[in-house]
Homo-oligomer: A and B are copies of this chain.
């Protein structure tokens, strides 16, 4: 039984990120242990260990999903590793849009890490990187005004959703409501800030969810400015 079409697609997806540095046998073990899960929007991810293949997965925190905080975003190729953590039932992984993930039993990942040292190294590097990104996000939340956070977010999304292209046109991978919660503001405020950005000509919208960056320079300089800077 040869590799299925899906497996081939996964291999090519993982080929250009850190995963590709791993020995072939290691990747095979991971693929063999995992199952591909299709998620509709707002579906909760079963399990707490996975690799994102398509779409965006959000880490929600709060009793009620409808008004929970969005604390982190996982894009394709990202590793989700939330086992071994105190689970008081308030953390959930939810698909922001229809998504596809490679779900892994925590035990399978641990076994593979034990067997393949490079995999263990890669996992540690990724988790460290995620912690770093979270610190950066905290810095934005505590030190930047809403419009600056928005500009920063748009640049980030444009880079990760279109890593090969010119990064000027891209799809917003989630609802306004979820964007607003991730950015720590109200949906109405987000809407007004987007409107303001449109007015300056820095961005434009082809459709409500398809954005074009017209003036990356302006956006970057907005993203860089701190709250109390002139």
A120 on the interface (CB 8 Å rule)? Answer: yes
Q: In the assembled complex, how far is the CB of residue A40 from the closest CB belonging to chain B, in whole angstroms?
A: 24
Q: In the assembled complex, how far is the CB of residue A167 from the closest CB belonging to chain B, in whole angstroms?
A: 18
A69–B131 CB distance below 8 A: no
B71–A136 CB distance below 8 A: yes
A69–B123 CB distance below 8 A: no
A176 on the interface (CB 8 Å rule)? Answer: no
Q: Which chain B positions have C-beta within 8 A of A228?
A: 67
A132 on the interface (CB 8 Å rule)? Answer: yes
Q: Which chain B positions have C-beta within 8 A of A69?
A: 138-139, 142-143
Q: Which chain B positions have C-beta within 8 A of A128?
A: 81-82, 84-85, 127
B85–A136 CB distance below 8 A: no
Q: Which chain B positions have C-beta within 8 A of A68?
A: 139, 143
Give the complex CA separation of A138 and B138 in angstroms.
Answer: 6
Q: Which chain B positions have C-beta within 8 A of A184?
A: 141-143
A70 on the interface (CB 8 Å rule)? Answer: yes
Give the complex CA separation of A130 and B141 in angstroms.
Answer: 18
Residues of A in contact with B (beta carbons under 8 Å apart): 59, 61-62, 67-72, 81-82, 84-86, 91, 114, 117, 120, 123-125, 127-132, 134-139, 141-143, 181-184, 226, 228
Nearest 4 interchain pairs by C-beta: A142-B184, A134-B134, A69-B139, A71-B135
